[in-house]
Amino acid sequence: DQQVKQNSPSLSVQEGRISILNCDYTNSMFDYFLWYKKYPAEGPTFLISISSIKDKNEDGRFTVFLNKSAKHLSLHIVPSQPGDSAVYFCAAYNQAGTALIFGKGTTLSVSS
Amino acid sequence: DAMVIQNPRYQVTQFGKPVTLSCSQTLNHNVMYWYQQKSSQAPKLLFHYYDKDFNNEADTPDNFQSRRPNTSFCFLDIRSPGLGDAAMYLCATRPDSSYEQYFGPGTRLTVT
């Protein structure tokens, strides 16, 4: 059973528009969440994170929102650029804080 | 540049023939992880080291072993690879002071 779910396998957006990637989790004890970006033939690279004591974290064009009551987080990319085309993974630390639990990823395609 | 290096990038082995994948880091991080990622699946943690302390995930098969001879190097040994072990194997590191994990580019293992 998946504890971190990314229900949209893919998302297509036009350059300049907003990209919204969604993630749901099942374990209310998760308290730290990260987003990773992965290009083909490369390892995942860290993008942005959020602690459960916050509901928003912003870094340039990237903002992560956390809704604890709904066990939902989202990544907003504004404005989207063609170079943002990649697979985006949502991940949460387990209760012990020792292991990252990943979602299956969402493939974002930004067209110019 | 400080980084996480995985060798080889592509490995082909025969069914049942032992294989070793290697990971090295120049980041001097004390935590190292091995993940297995099958096609279109989420990366799944196999085990991790906190310094020399080895931590095995409960569902990691006995066929998978690991060694960490020093801070910089970590090895994944697959004693008798089966066809189901074909996957991307990702190594990651993390400093004690942060939640962010730094990933290598991965080794794609093919079992024939």
CA distance A15 to chain B (A): 26
Distance in angstroms (rounded) separating the CA atoms of residues B21 and A89: 24
CA distance B16 to chain A (A): 26
Closest CA to A28 of A92, A71, A90, A74: A71
For the segment B39-53, the average pLDDT, to the nearest whole number, is 93
In which residue are the tokens 């912003």 written? A58
Interval A6-42: pLDDT, tens: 999 999 999 999 999 999 999 988 989 999 999 988 8
| pLDDT of the residue at B1 | 67
Interval B49-105: pLDDT, tens: 999 999 998 899 999 999 999 999 999 999 999 999 999 999 999 998 899 999 999
| pLDDT of the residue at B40 | 86
Question: Is residue A83 scored above 80 in pLDDT?
Answer: yes
Q: Does B76 touch chain A (CB under 8 A)?
A: no
Interval A88-105: pLDDT, tens: 999 999 878 888 999 999
pLDDT band at B18 (very low <50, low <70, confident <90, very high): very high
Q: Does A107 touch chain B (CB under 8 A)?
A: no
Q: Which of A41, A49, A103 sits opposite B99 (nearest CB)?
A: A49
| pLDDT of the residue at B2 | 65
Which residues from B are below 8 Å from A36, CB to CB? 103
Q: Which of A43, A93, A104 sits opposite B104 (nearest CB)?
A: A43
- Cα nearest neighbour of A35 on chain B: B100
Amino acid in position B12: V
Q: What is the DSSP string of chain B?
A: ---EEEE-SEEEE-TT--EEEEEEESS--SEEEEEEE-TTS--EEEEEEETTEEEE-TT--TTEEEE-SSSSEEEEEESS--GGG-EEEEEEEE-TT-S--EE---EEEEE-
| pLDDT of the residue at A99 | 86
3-class DSSP state for residue A23? strand
Question: Is residue A1 scored above 90 in pLDDT?
Answer: no
| pLDDT of the residue at A94 | 85
Which residues from A are below 8 Å from B47, CB to CB? none
Q: Does A57 touch chain B (CB under 8 A)?
A: no
Phi, psi angle pair for B63, to nearest 5°: -60, -20
* CB-CB contact of B49 with B74 (8 Å): yes
Interval A58-78: pLDDT, tens: 999 999 999 999 999 999 999
CA distance A24 to chain B (A): 14
Q: Does A28 touch chain B (CB under 8 A)?
A: no
